[in-house]
Structures are given as structure tokens and as C-alpha cells.
Amino acid sequence: MALSTQAIGKLVRRTRDLRQRPRFARGNIELWANLIILSWSAAFMLWQGVGFAIQVSTFFAIWAILAVSLNLVVGYTGLLSVGHIGFFGIGAYAMAILSSDASYEQLRTEAIPTFGWPFFAALPVSVVLAGLVAVVVGIAFNRFRDDIYVLVSFGFAVIAFNIFLNWRALTRGAFGIHEIARPEIGGWTVNGTFEYLILVLVFLAIVVLISWFIVTSSFGRVLTAIREDEQAIEVFGYQTAHYKLAIWVISAMMAGLAGALFASKTSFIDPNSFVLLESILLVSIVILGGLATIWGSLLGAMAFVMLEEGMRFVPFLPAEHIGQARQVVLGILLVVLMLFRPQGLVGKFRL
């Protein structure tokens, strides 16, 4: 009897020690942020109809993969990288080149190598390629931290963009690459937008699950300790360079996956999708949602996509200025948030 009460007591203590309070119990602002963004998105989609909802959700999923993966590096490990879009671009171009069809040559003067691979053969290769580039870049970046890290990652984004733009024998430069393969599963081509949405959501779920697995492991705890004091954690026997490199490569592979999905979705890519500005928008999404929270990144990506679409319905705003207006609004949001809620909508950690 005594033994069993002891055992129960221990069990209760352990469950309590998991310290996972319900997500909504952490404060009113979080609750409101969740409610407003989710209900706004739902209402918007209902109002605009199924086609719109599918389109928006697909782009949400791609942005969400990017935001969640970047949060692993920026939020959890504290390495403020603005070069994430480079890996997105590598994934997209790898997918485009590997799967583009030789029979479709729009510009014969700018011939690029074509392979005509199926989607599911090109996808893992794109992801691995992004990972390989990340290993090289990560080893070089490992000696930097804080503000210098921002600068060197900035440099990486600029270099990546210029390679996409100027290596014309491979990327066809500013002309872009057309006719990127549609996903095919056992002879059935994923042509419909709804089927494609399901595919992208499955990949998002996989990315979220992997990220969740990482951040709740001992590995994840070490990452947060690296963010707080890298020298102090070294004294505890952790080789921080390895941890930083590992999470950097994992994150880059996820970005490569997002890029490959994006290329296949739009079936046309050009370097303009991979400019530094996109990378900075991505960092804003991560900070907006909250650093070191996966849910926050999902929420941030949803808010961002909805904001972009919502801009279309602002009266007296010419269509060609929607993009710029979006950046202005996002910029204002970021400033307001940093002033009044530096931990982001649902985060706990402050930059």
C-alpha cells in the first residue's frame, strides 16, 4: 500500500513536471492573437470561396515550412540568419532543373540542361543539395555570432541571388525556368489544386513533427542554452559548433523542401522570388509569431498570407502597389510589436 501511494505520488509529480500548461492558459494577448488570426482567416476563406481557400492555404503551407524551419535557427538557437531564402532558392532551382522537360524549350538560345526527372525523384535530391550547401556555409558561419552573423548571412543571401541571376547556363538567369514537373504518385499526376494542397500540407505536417521532436528533446534544450550563453554551455561538455551546424543543416534542408514544393506549385521560377527582401519578410514572420515557438511560426505565416491577400480589398489601392503596401503594413506591425510585445504574438523569448 505504502509502495503504491509512493508510486502514484511519483507519477503525479512526473506528469506535473512536464510543465506543459495548456496553450491558452498563458495570457490574454495570446488568446486574442490566436482567436483573431484564426477566425479572420476562416471568415476570409469562407467569404472568398473554395478556390481562394485552396490557393491561400497552399502558399500558407509553403511559408509555414519556411517559418518553422527558420525558427529552429533564429528562435531556438539564437542565430539571426537573414540568408534562409538562399536555401529556399537552391531547393527550387534544383527541382526546376532536375524536373524540367526537354521537349518544352521556350527559349532555344538559352538552353539549359534538362533531366526530366519525376517529382518524387527530384524532391529528395533538392533537399539533400540544400543540405550539402548548408554544411559548407555552416562550417564557415560557425565562427560568427550576433550582429556579425546577420551580416554574413546577408552576404550569403546576396551571393545566392546573384548566382541564380547570372549562372545562365544553369538557371537561364532572369528568363526563369518553365514547365516544372507535377508530382506523380503511381501514375496518377497531382494536377488539381486541392490534391496539391493536401500534398503540401502533408509535408508541412512532417516538418512540424520533426521540429517538435527536435525542440522537445535534450538536443533542443541544448540549442536554447546555446542561444542564452554559448561559452557557458561549452563548459558543460557540449561541443556547440556541432550543435549549431546540425540545426543549421536540418533547417536548410526544410527550406530546400519548401523551395522544391514552391517550384512545382508555380511551375515557373525566376530569381525575383529569392531576393533578400523575401528573406527579411520571413524573419519578420518568425519574430511576429514569436521566437522559439512552432505554433507562433504557423500563426505568423497565416497572418502574413492573409495580410497579403487582404491587401487586395483595400479601397483606392492600385493593384501594382499591393506588394509594397504589404511590406509597409508588415513593417509597421513589426515596430509596434517590438515596442509593446517584444516576445511576438505567442512567444516567451525576447530577442
Partner 1 sequence: MSTKLDPRTFALETKAISKHFGAVKAVDQLSMSIFSEWITCVVGPNGSGKSTLINLLSGMLPIDEGIVVIDTVGIRVLKAHETPDHGITRTFQEVRLFDQITVWDNIMVGLTERRLFPSLLERTKPRHQERAEEILRSVGMWEKRDAMAGDLSYGQRKLLEIGRVMALDVKIYLFDEPFAGLFPRMLERVKDILKEMRRQKRTVIFVSHNMDIVRELSDHIFVLDSGTLLAVGEVDEVLGRSTVIDAYLGH
Tell the smallest beta-carbon distance from residue 153 to partner 1 (Å). Answer: 22
Tell the smallest beta-carbon distance from residue 128 to partner 1 (Å). Answer: 18
| Distance (Å, whole) CA 282 – CA 301 | 9
Q: Which is nearer to partner 1, 52 or 238 (CB)?
A: 238
User: What is the 3-state composition of the chain as percent helix, strand, coil, each rounded to the nearest 5?
Assistant: 75, 0, 20
Residue numbers at the binding site for partner 1 (CB under 8 A): 13-14, 17-19, 214, 216-219, 221-222, 224-225, 227-229, 231-240, 242-243, 246, 348-350
Tell the smallest beta-carbon distance from residue 108 to partner 1 (Å). Answer: 49
Q: What is the DSSP letter of 76?
A: I
Q: Which is nearer to partner 1, 122 or 225 (CB)?
A: 225
Tell the smallest beta-carbon distance from residue 146 to partner 1 (Å). Answer: 15
Q: Which is nearer to partner 1, 287 or 302 (CB)?
A: 287
Could you tell me where the DSSP H helices lie in 18-75? 28-48, 50-71
**3-class DSSP assignment, residue 177:** strand
Q: Are 306 and 44 in contact (CB under 8 A)?
A: yes
Q: What backbone phi and psi angles, to 5 degrees, belong to 343?
A: -85, 5
Write b or e for each residue in 179-210: b if 16 or more Cβ atoms lie within 10 A of its Cβ, otherwise e: bbbbbeeeeeebeeeebbbebbeebbeebbeb
Tell the smallest beta-carbon distance from residue 214 to partner 1 (Å). Answer: 7
Q: Which is nearer to partner 1, 162 or 228 (CB)?
A: 228
Other CB atoms within a 10 A radius of the CB of residue 313 amount to: 10
Place of cell 531576393: 275
| Distance (Å, whole) CA 104 – CA 179 | 7
Q: Which is nearer to partner 1, 29 or 185 (CB)?
A: 29
Q: Which is nearer to partner 1, 11 or 151 (CB)?
A: 11
**3-class DSSP assignment, residue 163:** helix
Tell the smallest beta-carbon distance from residue 223 to partner 1 (Å). Answer: 10
Q: Which is nearer to partner 1, 40 or 219 (CB)?
A: 219
Q: Read off the C-alpha cell for 148.
A: 556579425
Tell the smallest beta-carbon distance from residue 75 to partner 1 (Å). Answer: 11
